[in-house]
Chains A and B, each alone.
Chain A
Amino acid sequence: MVAEVEQKGRSKPENADGLILKPLYTAARQFAKSLIRPSTIIYPFERLEDPKFREEVAIESGRPIGVGQVWDNYRGVHALNVNTCISCNLCAFSCPDLCIDMVTVPGGDPKHPKKCPQIDYGKCSYCGFCSDACPEGCLSMTTRYELSTPKRAEMVYSPQKMFEIYQRKLPMNPIRLERPANEDSILLDVPLCIGCNACARDCPTECITMIDIPKANPKPGEKPAKRIWKEPVINDSDCVRCGTCISVCPKECLFWGTHT
């Protein structure tokens, strides 16, 4: 009885035709199809970027699906134009994984060394925040995705290495966040400033000029001081809002704010 109930429950009776011959036929067809050339490519020696694969995929799907061609926002290894980098540090600030170190590169003056980002791809999550933050557009993301290496140390790309990638003119990610026009500006808490020149020295865009001002409010009866006091004036249109001046100020008299 039990067997009968089971038999009734089945939608189709088990027969050799459907259970054995059909799979055998399917497998044989697959075998014959892939005997000449299986779909799997021999990756390091053949690539999906190769023109023949590109064509094939484009034909089969009717449109390129990111194979061989790159999506607009593909985010691979960075390219860095060392020549236009202004050492503003913004990329390192914006990196959520703290994988950017600013390292000295040749080309700066001894007092004001030129520093460019060095990226540890062992940590990088390819978020692209750094290239969005870069005010000069010199740090961008390319389509390069092959990073494997036997040594962990080789995952750290020096600025020179990323400059080489830049020089190869790989397709680069053209999408950049628009930087808002009326961001906060750098404001000065005037009474605190001691006119030390640190911000003007370190500003990457050299938009800070130190202007002479008389010492404010000399005490009655005192002679005005001989010494000329200085105070930074920031050219707001050149400022890239990197915050370097704030971080170097010894008296913490620079801060973010809005001009009123």
Chain B
Amino acid sequence: MALTTLWDVAYFLASGLLYVVSRIIPPLSGVLSNGDLVWGLSALVFGAILLAASMINTIMLIWFERKMLGRFMDRRGAMHVGYAGLLQNFADGLKLFRKNTFKPRDADGLGFYAGPTAYMVTSLLMFGVLPVSTGWSDGSLPLSMLLALVIFSFAPLFIFISAWSSNNKYSLIGGMRSAAQMIAYEVPILLAVVAVVVISGSFDLNTIVSEQRNYWYWGPLFLAMIVFATGMLAEMERIPFDLPEAEAELVEGWNTEYGGMLFAYFMLADYVRALAGSILVVLLFLGGWTLPAYFPAALTSLPLAGIVVLMVKTYLVFGVFVWIRAALPRVRTDQLLRIGWMRMIPLSLASIVFAVFFVLVKCIPVLGCVPSMGG
């Protein structure tokens, strides 16, 4: 059996595990060879690998941001735990894990505890949808891009729930801002995505990426990429659109009342979303796991090459987000709305028009040709 996809690896591990167990306890071998059991266990292993990979990447992303932000501020960032502070975030996580989580007296228990958990879980769901390489998942979802965007926009709901139930005015204001902010960025994001759909002819992320093997969409759809990335910044609630957190006004925004592990949930989920958002930008506009043609084909056919390429691109995109964070001040709500409705929507409409034009004329001298619209 060729281990080409992650599912194959999980299946291999699961059946190997069951085989070992049935050799150790022979009477169970009849039960253990049941096909459904193998399938179920492989699904669990699949999920576990995915979870571990995404968590490790998320933590590395935090490290990356800390180091980069440090340089922007003429500092060095984390230095002393592990090589160049690589293990600092694990240490921080351990510290938060050991802390007491307590609930304010007047907070609503259910919402207070369910909010962060749901926020974390829905953020992690993203990685079930995003393909990170050709061999990542077996089944391809025909509408995976829409699914990804839907999962992405769950967050304000849970933020609002946890903010409201923590019974604190700062939390509540932060939660309301988070919910209100959606109005500004969701529409431009979807319009920008429409431009991608027009050119690629598909809602499936796998197809969108494979359509980009000849040329990446950031050329023809540069405007849409700017709009999408800006919208993603607002979606992730990162500076300059971190109105819901606005430390100067709202203490810590919607997670003011949270401490210990619950705070760690919020923190991690924020970066999970940052990672997913950067991956989404790469998948839609920067060619996903493909490399330009002038790279030797031998390089791209190496095992795991696709994942490495995608991750490098993702970290570069996230680096740009950090750069923006280091440079720009926070905007006001009205400014955010004005940016969303008066700048981003016209730009994305323009790029839809351009995409339609591009598809109609098929070829544009500098930008190249639309590949066959087979997908």
Which residues of A (1-50) have their CB < 8 Å from a CB of B? Answer: 20, 23-24, 26-28, 30-31, 33-35, 38-40, 42
Please judge, given known A-B contacts A34-B71, A35-B71, A38-B70, whether A27 and B76 are in contact too, CB under 8 Å: no
Given known A31-B323, A42-B79, contact A24–B72 (CB-CB < 8 A): no
Q: Which residue of A lies closest to B326 (CB)?
A: A27
Q: Give the residues in chain B near A27, CB-CB below 8 Å.
A: 72, 323, 326-327
Q: Mask for A152-190, Cβ within 8 A of B = 1, else 0? A: 000000000000000000000000000000000000000
Tell me if B75 counts as interface (CB < 8 A to partner A).
yes
Q: Shortest beta-carbon distance, B74 to chain A, in Å?
A: 5
B: number of interface residues (CB 8 Å): 15
Interface residue ranges of A22-80 to B (CB < 8 Å):
23-24, 26-28, 30-31, 33-35, 38-40, 42
CB distance A23 to B327 under 8 Å? yes
Question: In the complex, A38 Cα to B77 Cα: how many Å?
Answer: 10
Once the chains are docked, how many angstroms separate the CA of A23 from the CA of B73? 13
Query: Does B298 lie at the interface of the complex (its beta carbon under 8 Å from any beta carbon of A)?
Result: no
Q: In the complex, A38 Cα to B324 Cα: how many Å?
A: 20
Q: Smallest CB–CB gap between A245 and chain B, Å?
A: 56
CB closest residue in chain A, given B323: A27
Bound-state CA distance A24–B327 (Å) is: 5
Q: Across the interface, which residues of B come within 8 angstroms of A23, CB to CB? A: 327-329
Q: Are A38 and B71 in contact (CB under 8 A)?
A: yes
Interface contacts (Cβ under 8 Å), in number, total 41
Closest to B80 in A: A42
Are A26 and B70 touching (Cβ within 8 A)?
no
Q: What range describes how many residues of A lie at the interface?
A: 10 to 19
Q: Are A38 and B75 in contact (CB under 8 A)?
A: yes
- In the complex, chain B residues 319-345 whose Cβ is within 8 Å of any chain A Cβ: 323-324, 326-329
> What A residues does B73 contact at CB under 8 A?
30
List, in ascending order, chain B residues with CB within 8 A of A34's CB. 71-72, 74-75
Instruction: Convert B70-95 into 0s and 1s, putting 1 for each residue whose CB lies closer than 8 angstroms to a CB of A.
Output: 11111110010000000000000000
Q: Which residues of A have CB within 8 Å of B326? A: 27, 31
| Contacts A24-B323, A27-B323, A28-B323 given; does A40 touch B74 at CB 8 Å | yes
* Residues from chain B with Cβ under 8 Å of A28 in the complex: 323, 327
Chain A residue nearest to B343 (CB atoms) is A16
Complex formed: what's the CA distance from A20 to B331 in Å?
11
Who on chain A is nearest to B335 by CB?
A14
A33 to B72, CA, bound (A): 9
Interface flags, B89-104, vs A, CB<8A=1, else 0: 0000000000000000
Tell me which residues from 292 to 334 in chain B have a Cβ below 8 Å from any Cβ of chain A.
Answer: 323-324, 326-329
Q: Is the CB of B76 within 8 A of A31?
A: no
The answer for the CA separation of A40 and B67 in the assembled complex, in Å, is 13
- Per the 8 Å Cβ criterion, residues 26-77 of B in contact with A are 68, 70-76
C-alpha gap A31/B79 in the complex (Å)? 17
Among A24, A30, A31, A38, chain B packs the most CB atoms within 10 A around the CB of A31
A20 to B324, CA, bound (A): 9
Q: Give the distance to chain A from B82, nearest Cβ to Cβ, in Å.
A: 15
Q: List 23 A-B contacts (CB under 8 A).
A: A23-B327, A23-B328, A23-B329, A24-B328, A26-B327, A27-B326, A28-B323, A28-B327, A30-B72, A30-B74, A31-B71, A31-B72, A31-B326, A34-B71, A34-B72, A34-B75, A35-B71, A38-B70, A40-B74, A40-B75, A40-B76, A42-B76, A42-B79
Q: Which residues of A contact B (CB under 8 A)?
A: 20, 23-24, 26-28, 30-31, 33-35, 38-40, 42
What 5 A-B pairs come out closest when comparing CB atoms? A27-B327, A23-B327, A24-B327, A34-B74, A27-B326
